[in-house]
Structure 1
């Protein structure tokens, strides 16, 4: 299989994921609830750069839109994040900050975007004696869209009794362009990852004033956020900033090497009108931010494309998959899992875009675009006959297994050599989905991102039914328990020689041990050799 299995067409589909799943969600600037620790007024909290006033509800508090770094504009564009500037008086922290600059299609939803976007939101339970454990949430969106404001974290703060911090970070070209003229050798690209590290340092320095424990931080994320967590497990600058990690649906093998990223970045700059090596850095930094909404696509093999983190840099020197396999990742407890039907969401979005179904004749083309020379072998292992002749379901099953499930299986095995690992598969085939996904000629099932509705109040889909609400409560309890002590509860066994995983189901979760066989992981491992 290609080192980067998303074809260009597949990567473009990824661009739309958060736009549908989060685009149907509540507005980024909705008031919510949660701020500080006692002074007299629980809505006021002192940070290292000034006082913030948040929103106080009976059962939680919210401090929103707090800057954790200086605006990355002008000469600070494509530079590591600089410390935030202090402010006088009391800063309003009742609304989330703008999204980071992203694809122009996001503007159709009326969401405010800005290059000045490096802010975070802090959700807390009511003030109390002692310090609560902290979860720092890194949003998904293929490193090209999304924001921290989507994730209403009241349930984790109230039922879970933990502090939750959700973070914005630079996206697309502004977050990951690796043009060699932008810095010293190896010091380009990965500005978005550096932002996340700056946010973790902010948490370490400030979270105690919000009632959080700076020594009890868990980093967590889904999709691109999960990939980011993988990177922090091996990134030197992240060492010591967290004590546990949660990886949800993170295809962590999709990392690009610096030389390939630099070539694509040179092409990007040329297309933007900045081709002269003597002036390219100044030219790029002088461009209006509006001209930099288009992501930088990193081309690898044929049509394979990727935007996001770059290995071989000072921020991310080595490939996290290799480091994990060889036991050199951070030795911390990890909670890791995937969804049963990850890729049906991407196929569904492509179907809605094209307004026509895939036919049997499309199947070889889809596999070739995604798996290249391995397409024929994949077709043999995922015949249409096994999926009732449905091209969407067969193709989704192949990509789900090859890109998500078996990658997570390899990571889980590697991480379990070093510390406690708890694995899951989200398996609610009737999970609520946004309206457009409920009118398709094939089911999306337990698809990519749908587990988020069981942890966060995202909205934009039918409410959970009673059985799903029970599962949601169980997941909130397990995630928050893991944040508190590195174990998701007595009913969730550690991944061990029997490769135990918890299958999360609304009709009763259960331990399973045959995940690698049902997902054909030996077949996918053979393609890597």
Structure 2
């Protein structure tokens, strides 16, 4: 069994009056080293200058790394099992400091943890871990320098793949994963284990923090309220440098640059190792975003700079900014910095690359204030000394109060460690000289995004590379989703299995199986968080199929095409049905409209409304004029016996008025006699009301009045007066002008006649 040793180095420099020495407790700053999950140590970092200048207690911690610190033999990540031994070492060191730091003059209630690179990612994991108690907390503030738990390299995906490779290298491949494999590995020497060769994808780690359900929750989701609530418990300073991805290039790349062909290989390797879905679309979008299309000729140095900016934004800038945005929504004590100064006589000054990964560390530890400090460069300029003092002031003020809007001014530092003047604001009255040391650092918010740019002349800026970082935080996650019915080959790059088209080692095929928690039945098809490495990759089945892990296999190529064909057939059938229905509706509407048009045409040709068959007008046709209906009742006397004929049937006649040019009506019609059996008929002006009465001058009951134009009546014929014996059999004739809709018959005459006659 591996024995764990936690080495804690505490450097305490007390610079206050001796009478207060035993009463005052100083802020504690704990450093978690970075560089890699597999190597490095806290020993090279000398905290004497930081402790003396800032009057704080500085602690550096060593913890287990590599296979000893992060070996994961648990195939099912949803089963709780301790695998993050390196993180557990850090938690143990913080527990020890909580109970013992007061002996060294440190204040256990003012503990600030700061780290760089992978160390910053570890701190971020601790900030959101359930294994770290919140009250009383083991630490209270955090400084993340170029690192975040949301970075794609921070969390190892599919760790059992590398565990199996290690087992093969040390002859333990016959042992299943779990406790049996641990027993086999304990029989091997440390030298044999450390010499084992494991293939690691470019830009990532084989052994690092993994989801174990103890330190890192199985549901590691930034959208969960519990994640935000834990994050808000701490004050935060976070920041980056413009060229954080510098160490992904070799010496030749740095000195001479490279052509587009090599850039294409680098991008293919990065995209295949980072994403699982729609790789071709993501790569085309990335190239379009980071290519300067205004330059017709591209120099190799320009190509290298574009690639460096791309990788720096994707691996460091975007995830660190995402962490800061989440924290700023939950707490107001959030501060962002961008260290953008390249040391004049530093290790990278000749490369013209800007500030590279880790170049801010000498200024944080105070190396420019002394001749030499640990492994940092020497021979700093006076301006660089002032820059280091500025950084120290900000860091120490944050450790003291949690706020750095108004940094506390420290005295000028001398190599001996003694202050040259009393503590307090500087007495120098030159405003330009002290501008950098007194510049107010505003708080960061997701809306305004104000930050401080740490340079020889610090300044306040807003929205650091907002367009490029939004590309990685918004657009790429939208492109990176599984797709419901897309076959696996759709997500491959062009020449996907051509190993000469990549630079460095690439992982195997993208995810084909997703391990689900025991209670989960719904498959998630979209990666909601930026940490794409949290998506589990393909995992071979264990030899014995233990742990009862439920696996869901994605659709194969043929299944994908079958599903697509079925959906296409259903869509076509529905479309054809709707098309036929529309054609039938159109035909019906067209037929009805044509029928109406033909009927109207036929009526126009017949001169108006057609007369009924029993019309007294016979077959005569007249031009269409306003019409009126005439009802007559004829009573005849048949023979002399006085027998009554059966009641006659009312006849309806459509009579037409003459054209308007023949209708010349006088205002008063002449009166004619009634000896001929015709009632007095008065002509009316146009639009007048015509009334018809009986021979006795009474209005016919049931008759209706109609407004119409009546032509001038012709004069009656002059006939001699005959005796009653020679008169025709017609006794009385009555007729009533009615509207066509009046159905009430006219009143029958009181006397009968043998012959009915209609006179006008």
What stretches of structure 2 of length at least 5 have no aligned partner? 16-20, 273-278, 368-373, 407-439, 479-760
Instruction: Give the counterpart of 1:328 among 223, 229, 232.
Output: 229
SS in 1 for 2:228: coil
Of 293, 313, 316 in structure 1, the residue corresponding to residue 213 of structure 2 is: 313
User: CA deviation digits over 1:172-213, x for unaligned, max 9?
Assistant: 111101013999943232100000001101111111010001
Partner residue, 1:27: none
The CA deviation at 1:221 is 0.4
Alignment of 1:149-164 (within 5 A): 149-164=43-58
The equivalent position to 1:361 in structure 2, one of 261, 273, 279, is 261
Number of the residue aligned with 1:426: 339
How do 1:252-401 and structure 2 match up within 5 A?
Answer: 252-253=149-150, 254=152, 260-277=158-175, 279-293=180-194, 305-317=205-217, 318-319=219-220, 321=222, 327-330=228-231, 331-347=233-249, 350-351=250-251, 357-372=257-272, 373=279, 374-383=282-291, 389-390=300-301, 391-401=303-313
Query: Does the C-alpha gap of structure 1 residues 304 and 160 become closer, same or farther in structure 2, counting only changes over 3 Å?
Result: closer
How far is the alpha carbon of 1:272 from its aligned partner?
Answer: 2.0
1:122 aligned to 2:10?
yes
Maintained 8 Å contact 1:177/1:296: no
Give the greater-gyration-radius structure (CA): 2
Corresponding residue of 2:533: none
Mapping 1:1-150, distance limit 5 Å: 75-76=1-2, 117-126=5-14, 128=21, 129-150=23-44
Matched, 1:503 2:401: no
> Could you say which residue in structure 2 is the equivalent of 1:452?
361
Partner Cα distance (1:145, 1:489) in 2 = 36
Distance of 2:203 and 2:6 partners within structure 1:
33
Q: Secondary structure at the match of 2:323?
A: helix
Helix, strand or coil for the counterpart of 1:143? coil
> Aligned partners of 2:199, 2:214: CA distance in 1, in Å?
19
Q: Secondary structure at the match of 2:159?
A: helix
Stretches of structure 1 that go unaligned for 5 or more consecutive residues are 1-74, 82-116
Structure 2 residue matching 1:213: 3-state secondary structure: strand
Contact 2:453-2:459 at 8 Å conserved across structures: yes
> Would you say 1:528 and 2:477 are equivalent positions?
yes
Question: Aligned residue for 2:90?
Answer: 196
Given the superposition, is the C-alpha separation of residues 504 and 189 from structure 1 closer, same or farther in structure 2, using an over 3 Å criterion?
Answer: same
Of residues 140, 149, 155, the one that matches 1:243 is 140
Q: Alpha-carbon deviations, 1:105-156, whole Å to 9, x = none?
A: xxxxxxxxxxxx5312111122723100101100002211111111111221
The CA deviation string for residues 6-51 of structure 1, in whole angstroms up to 9 with x for no partner, is xxxxxxxxxxxxxxxxxxxxxxxxxxxxxxxxxxxxxxxxxxxxxx
How far 1:251 sits from its partner (Å)? 4.0
Question: How much does 1:169 deviate?
Answer: 0.7
Residue 57 of structure 1 corresponds to none
How big is each residue's C-alpha offset from its partner over 1:385-422, in whole Å with a ceiling of 9 and x where there is no partner? 67854232111100111121121111111001122111
Greater CA drift, 355-364 or 137-146: 355-364
Query: Higher relative contact order at CA 8 Å, sep ≥6: structure 1 or structure 2?
Result: 1
3-state secondary structure, aligned to 1:136 = strand
CA distance in 2: counterparts of 1:465 and 1:238, whole angstroms: 43
Report the equivalent of 2:118. 224
Contact 1:120 1:148 survives alignment (8 Å): no
Distance 2:221 2:49 in 1: 32
Whole-Å separation in 2 of the counterparts to 1:360 and 1:208 = 58
SS at match of 1:335: strand
Shift of 1:513: 0.8
Residues 417 and 351 of structure 1: CA distance in aligned 2, closer, same or farther (over 3 Å):
same
Distance 1:520 1:467 in 2: 31
Which whole-Å CA distance do the structure 1 matches of 2:153 and 2:260 have between them? 32
CA RMSD for the aligned pairs? Answer: 3.0
1:168 alignment partner, one of 43, 62, 66 = 62
1:443 to 334, 346, 352: 352
Relative to structure 1, is the Cα distance of residues 305 and 137 closer, same or farther in structure 2, using a 3 angstrom cutoff?
A: closer
Name the CA distance, whole Å, in 2 between partners of 1:362 and 1:446.
Answer: 24
- 1:150 match: secondary structure: coil
Partner Cα distance (1:521, 1:481) in 2: 31
Corresponding residue SS for 1:336: strand
The CA deviation at 1:432 is 5.0
SS for the counterpart of 1:488 is coil
Separation in structure 2 between the aligned mates of residue 187 and residue 357 of structure 1, nearest angstrom:
46
How far apart are 1:284 and its partner, in Å? 0.9
Alignment partners' CA distance in 2, 1:407 and 1:227: 10
Equivalent residue of 2:43, what SS?
helix
> How many positions carry a matched residue from both structures?
409
Shift of residue 321, structure 1, vs aligned partner: 4.8
Q: Describe the shift of the 1:277–1:179 C-alpha distance in structure 2 as closer, same or farther (beyond 3 A).
A: same
What is the distance in 2 between the residues matched to 1:321 and 1:226?
17
Distance 2:41 2:358 in 1: 14
CA distance in 2, matches of 1:304, 1:183: 19
Instruction: Tell whether the 8 Å contact from 1:344 to 1:393 is kept in structure 2 after alignment.
Output: no
Measured in 2, the distance between the counterparts of 1:324 and 1:427 equals 35
Cα distance in 2 for partners of 1:295, 1:333 equals 41
Alignment correspondent of 1:414: 326
Higher relative strand content:
1
- Quote the residue 1:480 is aligned against: 396
Q: 1:527, 1:238 → 2: CA distance? A: 33
**Residues 1:322 and 1:141: Cα distance change in structure 2 (over 3 Å):** farther
Task: Tell me by how many angstroms 1:469 deviates.
Answer: 1.2
Deviates more, 1:281-290 or 1:131-140: 281-290
Match of 2:632 in 1: none
Work out the CA distance in 2 between the residues paired with 1:446 and 1:499: 21
